[in-house]
Structure 1
Amino acid sequence: MPTTHRRRLIDMTGLTPLSATTVTPDPQAAYRELQERWGMVAPVELEPGIHAWLVMGHHELCQVVRNEQLFSRDPNNWRLFTEGVVTADSGLGPMMFPRDNAYFADGDKHRRLRGPIDDGIASLDEHRMSRFIRSTCADLVRGFEQRGAADLVAEYAAVVPMLTVAGFFGISPEQGEELRMALIALVSSAADSHEPALQVERILSDTMAERRREHADDLTAEFLRHPNLHNDFEIQQSMVLMISAGYETTATWIAQTLRLMLADQRFAGRLRGGRLGLDDALDEVLWRDPPMSNMPARYALVDCELAGQPIERGDALILGMAAANADPRVHTNDPWLEIGNRSHLAWSAGPHACPAQRAGRMITRIAVDTALHRLHDVTLAIPADEVMLLPSPWTRCPASLPVRFTPPGPPPRF
Structure 2
Amino acid sequence: MTLPNEHSRADATLAPPPQCPASALAPLGPGGLTRLYGPEAEKDPMGLYERLREQHGQVAPVLLTGDLPAWLVLGYRENLDVARTPSRFSRDSRLWRESKDGRVPPTHPLAPITTWQPICVFADGQQHERWRGAINDSIARIDKRGIRRNVTVYANQLVDRFCAKGQADLVHQFAEHLPMMAMTQLLGMPEAYSPQLVNAARDMIKGTATAVASNEFVQETLRKLVTRKRAEPTADFTSWLIEHPAGLTDDEVQQHLRLVLIAAFETTANLIANTLKMVFTDVRFRASLAGGHMTLPDAVEQVLWDEPPFITILGRWATQDTELAGQRIKSGDALVLGLAAANMDTVIRPDPDAPIHGNRSHLAFSGGQHECPGADVGRAIADTGIDALLLRLPDLALAIDESELKYHSSLMSRHLTALPVKFTPRSPLPPEDSVDAEAALPDAHPERPEQPAIPAPGKVPTARRSWWRSLIGLLRRG
TM-score w.r.t. the length of structure 1 is 0.91
Counterpart of 2:48, as a letter, is A
- The whole-number CA distance in structure 1 between the counterparts of 2:415 and 2:266 is 9
- The whole-number CA distance in structure 2 between the counterparts of 1:390 and 1:278 is 26
How far 1:226 sits from its partner (Å)? 1.3
SS at match of 1:397: strand
Structure 2 residue 137 is matched with structure 1 residue 105: no
Counterpart of 1:329, as a letter, is V
Give the aligned partner of residue 23 of structure 1.
42
SS at match of 2:300: helix
Give the aligned partner of residue 358 of structure 1.
376
Give the aligned partner of residue 233 of structure 1.
251
CA spacing shift, 1:6–1:254, aligned 2, 3 Å: closer
- The whole-number CA distance in structure 2 between the counterparts of 1:73 and 1:298 is 5
- The whole-number CA distance in structure 1 between the counterparts of 2:239 and 2:30 is 49
SS at match of 1:53: strand
Give the aligned partner of residue 267 of structure 2.
249
Counterpart of 1:73, as a letter, is R
How far 1:32 sits from its partner (Å)? 2.1
Give the aligned partner of residue 45 of structure 1.
63
How far 1:296 sits from its partner (Å)? 1.3
Counterpart of 1:23, as a letter, is E
Whether the 8 Å contact between 2:294 and 2:357 is mirrored in structure 1 is no
Structure 2 residue 293 is matched with structure 1 residue 293: no
Which residue, out of 227, 245, 264, partners 2:282?
Answer: 264
Structure 2 residue 162 is matched with structure 1 residue 162: no
Give the aligned partner of residue 162 of structure 2.
144
Whether the 8 Å contact between 1:267 and 1:275 is mirrored in structure 2 is no
How far 1:202 sits from its partner (Å)? 2.4
Matches within 5 A, 1:146-225: 146-189=164-207, 195-225=213-243
**Deviates further, 138-147 or 15-24:** 15-24
How far 1:269 sits from its partner (Å)? 5.8
Structure 2 residue 349 is matched with structure 1 residue 310: no
CA spacing shift, 1:361–1:169, aligned 2, 3 Å: same
Deviations 1:348-395 (A, max 9, x none): 111101111111110111122122221241100111121111121212
- The whole-number CA distance in structure 1 between the counterparts of 2:310 and 2:95 is 23
Deviations 1:191-230 (A, max 9, x none): 6655334322321122223323433100111011113243
Structure 2 residue 345 is matched with structure 1 residue 327: yes
Give the aligned partner of residue 55 of structure 1.
73
CA spacing shift, 1:145–1:306, aligned 2, 3 Å: same
Give the aligned partner of residue 392 of structure 1.
410
- The whole-number CA distance in structure 1 between the counterparts of 2:264 and 2:293 is 31
Indicate the RMSD between aligned Cα atoms, in angstroms: 2.4
SS at match of 1:377: coil
Give the aligned partner of residue 14 of structure 1.
32
SS at match of 1:406: coil
Whether the 8 Å contact between 1:88 and 1:191 is mirrored in structure 2 is no
TM-score w.r.t. the length of structure 2 is 0.79
Whether the 8 Å contact between 1:167 and 1:176 is mirrored in structure 2 is no
Deviations 1:88-117 (A, max 9, x none): 233323432322211111111111111111
**Deviates further, 385-394 or 6-15:** 6-15
Which residue, out of 91, 97, 100, partners 1:73?
Answer: 91
Structure 2 residue 357 is matched with structure 1 residue 339: yes
Give the aligned partner of residue 449 of structure 2.
none
CA spacing shift, 1:295–1:12, aligned 2, 3 Å: farther
CA spacing shift, 1:38–1:270, aligned 2, 3 Å: closer
Which residue, out of 355, 363, 366, partners 1:348?
Answer: 366
Which residue, out of 404, 408, 414, partners 2:426?
Answer: 408
CA spacing shift, 1:99–1:7, aligned 2, 3 Å: closer
CA spacing shift, 1:271–1:379, aligned 2, 3 Å: farther
Task: Flag structure 2 segments of 5+ consecutive residues without an equivalent.
Answer: 1-22, 428-457, 461-478
Whether the 8 Å contact between 2:177 and 2:194 is mirrored in structure 1 is no
Whether the 8 Å contact between 1:89 and 1:191 is mirrored in structure 2 is no
Matches within 5 A, 1:75-94: 75-94=93-112
Give the aligned partner of residue 135 of structure 1.
153
- The whole-number CA distance in structure 2 between the counterparts of 1:402 and 1:45 is 35
Counterpart of 1:200, as a letter, is V
Which residue, out of 265, 271, 280, partners 2:298?
Answer: 280
SS at match of 2:162: coil
CA spacing shift, 1:227–1:372, aligned 2, 3 Å: same
SS at match of 1:299: strand
Whether the 8 Å contact between 1:299 and 1:316 is mirrored in structure 2 is yes
How far 1:270 sits from its partner (Å)? 6.9
How far 1:13 sits from its partner (Å)? 6.6
Counterpart of 1:255, as a letter, is A
- The whole-number CA distance in structure 2 between the counterparts of 1:49 and 1:370 is 45
Whether the 8 Å contact between 2:170 and 2:420 is mirrored in structure 1 is yes
